[in-house]
Amino acid sequence: MGFAGTGKIWMNGSLVDWADANIHLSSHVIHYGSGVFEGARCYDTERGPACFRLDAHMRRLVDSAKIYRMEQALSRKQLEDAVVDTIRANGFRACYIRPLIYRGSETLGVNPLPCPVDTAIMLWEWDTYLGEDALARGVDVCVSSWARLAPNTLPALAKSTANYANAQLIKMESVANGYDEAIALDPEGTLSEGSGQNLFIVRDNTLYTPSVASSILPGITRDSIMTIARDLGFTVVEQAIPRELLYIADELFFVGTAVEVTPIRSVDKIVVGQGTRGPVTEAIQRTYFDIVNGRVPDQYGWLRLVDADAATEHHAKPATAKATG
């Protein structure tokens, strides 16, 4: 999972060499976590490299910046185009996409407003987050002792660098205790999310997932999976969920840009279902990968092809395509 250390990074409108993509030590973001970011993927399809739901990711990036009063000049469309240009410049067929809007160097008072707002886009080749075999065999997780953010402390709806200090504590605790990942509770003691993944529970062929009131980041992949599941005929319920439902679930799985759709085979050493990927998870996982890899028609208009001619075709979506957001 280390970086190759080569290629180009987009910084404030210019493509610079990886080794030269530096910021000053006095940058506000280093000291106070004053940055917002996104994580998206570009997949290698038969029609060429294709970004999955890039428009939705850039919308959330702009929304996150707005919540943190970070005014930047680029529109969502300009940000999308900058991502595509950077992928082309690096010649990637598939990659992970990390746009970042952050406070740069001017002053180091807690007030960030005097500091410039800078924007960067970096890419790297990143395989399955928890390992390729995890997609089939599942992962072992625990319930973390660290809770997710309380309301009116840090905004959970913003994908802020500051929020991921909490996520790091959740992740490190799980690794230290011999687990692959952890599930955090919200301040009310009900289920929230993983260190960087949304959670789905399957019980009697119904999918349950914590609502935005449970201190979750409303994931783009989460939204996609709810759409896929409903179109496959499953009922999807968003609500507050008690911890103990984890232990009596038929199936559990994580979703997210990095983790994609990964089954959970045990929680706190209690086996989930039969201890293997369940049929509902497998059906949703298969459909998801068929879509992102371009093996089926893009009925939702979720893929933006990197090739210039294909990108033009992308914007001429059929009238039946569903809106994204």
Query: Residues 278, 196, 247, 208: what is their CA dihedral angle, to the nearest 10 degrees?
Result: -70
Rg of the Cα atoms in the chain: 20
Distance between CA atoms of 159 and 175, rounded to whole angstroms?
A: 23
Both tokens of 69, joined, read 């009063």
Amino acid at 44: D
Q: What are phi and psi of 196, to 5 degrees?
A: -160, 30
Q: Which neighbouring-strand residues pair with 200?
A: 253
Cα 294 from chain centroid (whole Å): 20
Known catalytic residue at 8 = no
Count Cα neighbours of 23 within 13 Å in the Cβ-side half-sphere. Answer: 22
- Of 8, 77, 159, 322, the active-site residue reads 159
Both tokens of 34, joined, read 């004053």
Helices (H), the chain: 28-32, 54-67, 76-90, 134-137, 164-176, 220-231, 279-292, 308-315
Spell out the residues 6+ positions from residue 200 whose beta carbon is closer than 8 angstroms to its own: 207, 208, 209, 225, 252, 253, 254, 255
Active site residues: 159
